[in-house]
Copies of this chain bind each other. A is one copy, B any other.
Amino acid sequence: MSLQGNLLVAQSGGPTPVINASLAGVLTEALNHEDSIPEIFGGLNGIHGILKEDLVDLAAESQLTVRALRHTPGAALGTCRYKGRRPGDFDRVLQVVEAHNIRYFHYIGGNDSQDTAFKIDTLAKERGYDLRVIGVPKTIDNDLPLTDHCPGYGSVAKYLSATVREMALDNAAMGQNDFVSILEVMGRNAGWLAASTVLARRKDKSASDAPHILLLPEVPFQAEAFVGRVLEVLKSNPHCFVVVSEGVQDEAGNYLGADTSSADAFGHAVLGGAGEYLRTLVESRIEGVKARSAKLGIAQRAASHLASLTDVDEAFLCGQAAVQAAVAGESGKMVVLARIEGKDHYSVKTALAPLGEVANGVKAFPANWIGSDRMSVELPFIKYASPLIQGEIALPFENGLPRYAQLAAVRVKKTLEPFKS
Question: A residues within 8 Å of B by Cβ?
Answer: 11, 14-15, 44-46, 48-49, 72-76, 78-81, 158, 161-163, 165-167, 169-175, 181, 183, 199-200, 203, 259, 262-268, 270-273, 276-277, 280-281, 283-285, 292-299, 301-306, 308, 386, 389-392, 397, 399-402, 404
Contact = CB atoms under 8 A, between A and B. Distances in A.
A242 to B, nearest CB: 13
Contact of A400 (B75, B169, B308): B308
A74 B170 contact: yes
Contact of A262 (B264, B266, B402): B264
A175 B80 contact: yes
B79 A174 contact: yes
A302 to B, nearest CB: 4
14 contacts: A15-B174, A75-B170, A166-B302, A166-B304, A166-B404, A167-B298, A170-B298, A181-B298, A262-B262, A262-B264, A268-B283, A270-B272, A272-B273, A294-B295
A238 to B, nearest CB: 10
A407 B356 CA distance: 55
A255 to B, nearest CB: 14
B173 A79 contact: yes
A280 B268 contact: yes
Interface of A is mostly: mixed
A49 B176 CA distance: 12
Contact of A276 (B273, B303, B386): B273
A406 to B, nearest CB: 9
Contacts of A298: 167, 170-171, 181, 292, 294
A-B pairs, top 7 by smallest CB distance, nearest first, are A294-B297, A74-B169, A262-B262, A75-B173, A45-B175, A389-B400, A166-B302
Centre residue among A80, A175, A308 by max chain B CB count within 10 A: A175
Nearest to A80: B175
Contacts of A172: 74, 78
Given A259-B270, A283-B268, A402-B162, A78 B175 contact: yes
